Amino acid sequence: MRRYRALVAAAATALLLAGCSAADRGPDENGVITLRFQSLAWQKESVDINKKLVAEWNEAHPKVQIKYVQGSWDNVHDQLLTSFEGGEAPDIIHDATDDLADFAHGGDLADLTELLPPRLKADIPQRSWATTTFGKKVYGVPFLQEPRVLIANEKLLKTSGVRVPTPDAPWTWQEFRQVSKKLTADMGKGRYAVAWPLKEPVSATLNLSLSAGGELFRKGDDGKFTIRFTEGDGTVPATVHDQVNTDGSASSATLGMGGSDTLPGFFGGKYAMVPLGFSYRQQINEQAPEGFPWTVLPAPAGSGGLTQGVSPQTLSVAEDSPYKKEAVEFIDFFLRPQNMVRLAKGDWMLPTGSEALKDPSLRTPKDGWATGTALAEHLRAAPAQEVRGYPEWKDKVATPAYQEYYSGAIDARELRQRLEKDGNLVLARYQR
């Protein structure tokens, strides 16, 4: 039923784009061409900034106009599938790197390698370009990224006397477990050090596992991927499992929650820390009781240090677009350093651009910005970035397996067996 609703929504969105195929998108009688930019911005501040940048471009480029089209993260994959198949895709496409692989391999997105201006190529570091590179071709421009951090109750940390981590001296995963046990004991019955919101457990688990040396997906000499669950892949899952089922330092009730669902308990002092994406700071800033003492801590580190995976937001160009050069020129304007700062602040995320990251407004301790920018150099492509068949593996194999393991329903041996055995069967169908 969920997929049916998504397809209906996709079809409805596609209708908005109908009648605009590449064949009939030539200049109008005044020589003006119009490119459609589908944005997935959804928070008011972010939508406003996107629309302002479009308006600024349009005022400065009367012969190349951009039409803003509102898309949605909820159904973007199915909606794009429908629009690509119908020849009605927007010229400029806002998406995320973990959604690009099938479209890149399917020939739906333009190779931007020779179209990108030197300034833009130089400004974004190679570790970020790696998230949108498939083979030797670049299919998107990564521009916003979101590390996972610990949002913590500063008062509870201070009262307990535990060592407070910094990006220069983070907790190890083992120390995080020990600190969590002490915090829980100090907080009293019915209260927990940690709330893990793992309704969608796969991305969080895989991305944080890079810090412990976990990769899970191994690429062979033939370019094909297999799943192999090693000790590094087990560090983060074991920490969560043991906090919930052995130590009692993490609440089992939050495992089925989304991040926002944990905030009332966090504000009420039921949880001392919540691992969340960096952008949740906006919601906390707006909803926290007046004077609530929250702070941002780096996620724990392992053998890989503070490394973690990210799937940056991207801007791509449809292969069918007759105006690829103009589309890339707009992207270059949209992602000038000062504009990238505006976009990052609008979404409460980190820019990928080196110049934008230097902006003083993104390096202030207020609201944890300085902690985030200190993590930027440690962000890498999410482990499943190039893996075809990942969405099916995630939904049918990994999500239920991790959920059952975290709840204590299965042990680590069965988790490994299901991820590897069932997972490799799924990947094999996509790599024939």
Grouped pLDDT means (10 residues each) for the chain, 432 residues: 39 46 67 95 93 98 96 92 93 94 92 97 96 93 98 97 97 98 96 97 96 94 93 97 98 97 97 97 96 97 96 97 97 98 97 98 96 96 87 94 98 97 95 84
pLDDT at site 9? 43
Q: Helix axis angle, 173-187 relative to 231-242, nearest 10°?
A: 0
- Distance (Å, whole) CA 373 – CA 381: 17
Asked if 92 contacts 317 with a C-beta cutoff of 8 angstroms, the reply is yes
Q: Report which secondary-structure segment, H or E, holds 271.
A: strand 271-277
Strands lying side by side in the sheet with 294-298: 192-194, 271-277, 148-153, 294-298
Asked if 317 contacts 189 with a C-beta cutoff of 8 angstroms, the reply is no
- Distance (Å, whole) CA 415 – CA 338: 46
Alpha-carbon distances, residue 191 vs 244, 249, 251, 271 (angstroms): 13, 8, 8, 6
- Distance (Å, whole) CA 333 – CA 320: 22
pLDDT at site 391? 84
Q: What is the four-CA torsion angle of 126, 97, 336, 282, rounded to 10 degrees?
A: -120
- Distance (Å, whole) CA 112 – CA 273: 41
Question: Quick check: pTM over 0.75?
Answer: yes
> How big is the CA angle at 372 (ends 406 and 53), to the nearest 5 degrees?
115
- Distance (Å, whole) CA 292 – CA 365: 16
Which residues, including other chains, have CB under 8 Å from residue 248's CB and lie 6 or more apart?
184, 192
- Distance (Å, whole) CA 338 – CA 346: 13
DSSP assignment letter at 114: T
